[in-house]
């Protein structure tokens, strides 16, 4: 099972905690034509800053589905990153859906207009025809700068075509090479006050042939006895390629939370597991 750890915040969400979410938009992800790289990258970016990802959703290039998903997330109070669907092709619906979810319209952002115009000039390489901003092709490119009214831009260091943010939702392209630095910029620009606010730590061990239903009452007692500590259980049917205790059915059982709170809970978890008749296999740093 997966435990969600909420992070302390001084933001104006009405809560002492903030959650971070991810929406990945694109038929190509759901069909398997491309493998999603945004989830692992955002987790990495958050963890580097002492934060964690609370949830993730995959959504098709379907306007109704995108709009419904964004309506829910805009009311959640969460900090949300959205990747994909902000280009100017017929299957790019995210900009319009975000506006619809907020009950507003899209409008060409003046800074985005300048950035896109600059990109056009660079790509023209001195060709006056390609540099003409009034051509149908270039006018179409400006659609990538049409954001929900009230949006701010997110700089794109890769090709200068910006993303946009509104209501603590950060919309970036579906290309990981562009999305990753843009997501990092958003975190560093808006959420530095949340970085490493808690000294979070995690410890676990392997329980060979462990059964979750047997261990669950112990896990519940640990959480009740040590507020602020979360217990997690990761069952496995076994992996013969790893050998040893990992080759057969087992459970990785552990705790996570503020490092100061873990010591007593760690002892209680180990003692309680052994009292149930289970052996414990400690996990080495090498795995």
**pLDDT digit string (tens) for the chain, length 287 residues:** 223 323 333 333 333 468 999 999 999 999 999 999 999 999 999 999 989 999 999 999 999 999 999 999 999 999 999 999 999 999 999 999 999 999 999 999 999 999 999 999 999 999 989 999 999 999 999 999 999 999 999 999 999 999 999 999 999 999 999 999 999 999 999 999 999 887 778 899 999 999 999 999 999 999 999 998 999 999 999 888 888 888 899 999 999 988 888 999 999 999 999 999 999 999 875 44
Question: Is 3.40.980.10 the CATH classification of the domain at 7-194?
Answer: yes
pTM listed for this prediction = 0.79
CB atoms within 10 A of CB 275: 9
Domains in the chain: boundaries: 7-194, 200-282
User: Quick one: DSSP state of residue 283?
Assistant: P
How far apart are alpha carbons 44 and 159 in whole angstroms? Answer: 23
Q: Are strands 53-59 and 17-18 parallel, antiparallel or unpaired?
A: unpaired
- 279-283's contacts with Cβ under 8 Å and 24+ in sequence apart are 279/207, 279/208, 280/205, 280/206, 280/207, 281/205, 281/206, 281/207, 281/208, 281/244, 281/245, 281/250, 282/205, 282/206, 283/204, 283/205, 283/206, 283/252
- Looking at CATH, the fold of the domain delimited by 200-282 is given as Alpha-Beta Plaits (3.30.70)
């Amino acid at each position: 099972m997966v435990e969600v750890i909420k992070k302390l915040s001084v933001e104006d969400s009405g809560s002492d905690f903030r959650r971070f979410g991810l929406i990945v938009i694109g038929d190509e992800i759901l069909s398997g034509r491309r493998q999603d790289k945004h989830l692992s990258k955002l987790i990495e970016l958050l963890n580097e800053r002492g934060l964690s990802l609370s949830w993730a959703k995959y959504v098709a290039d379907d306007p109704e589905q995108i709009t419904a998903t964004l309506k829910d997330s805009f009311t959640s109070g969460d900090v949300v990153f959205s990747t994909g669907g902000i280009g100017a092709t017929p299957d790019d619906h995210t900009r319009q859906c975000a506006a619809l979810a907020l009950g507003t319209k899209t409008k060409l952002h003046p800074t985005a207009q300048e950035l896109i115009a600059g990109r056009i000039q660079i790509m023209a390489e001195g060709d006056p025809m390609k540099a003409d901003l009034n051509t149908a092709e270039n006018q179409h490119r400006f659609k990538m700068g049409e954001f929900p009214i009230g949006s701010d831009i997110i700089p794109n260091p890769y090709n200068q075509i910006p993303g946009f943010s509104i209501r603590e939702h950060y919309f970036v392209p579906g290309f990981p090479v562009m999305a990753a630095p843009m997501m990092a910029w958003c975190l560093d620009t808006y959420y530095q006050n949340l970085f490493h606010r808690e000294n979070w730590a995690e410890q676990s061990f392997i329980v060979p042939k462990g059964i979750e239903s047997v261990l669950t009452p112990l896990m519940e007692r640990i959480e009740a006895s040590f507020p602020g500590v979360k217990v997690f259980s990761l069952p496995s049917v076994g992996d013969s390629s790893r050998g040893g205790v990992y080759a057969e059915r087992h459970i990785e059982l552990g705790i996570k939370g503020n490092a100061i709170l873990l010591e007593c809970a760690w002892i209680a978890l180990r003692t309680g597991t052994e009292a149930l008749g289970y052996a414990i296999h400690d996990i080495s740093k090498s795995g």
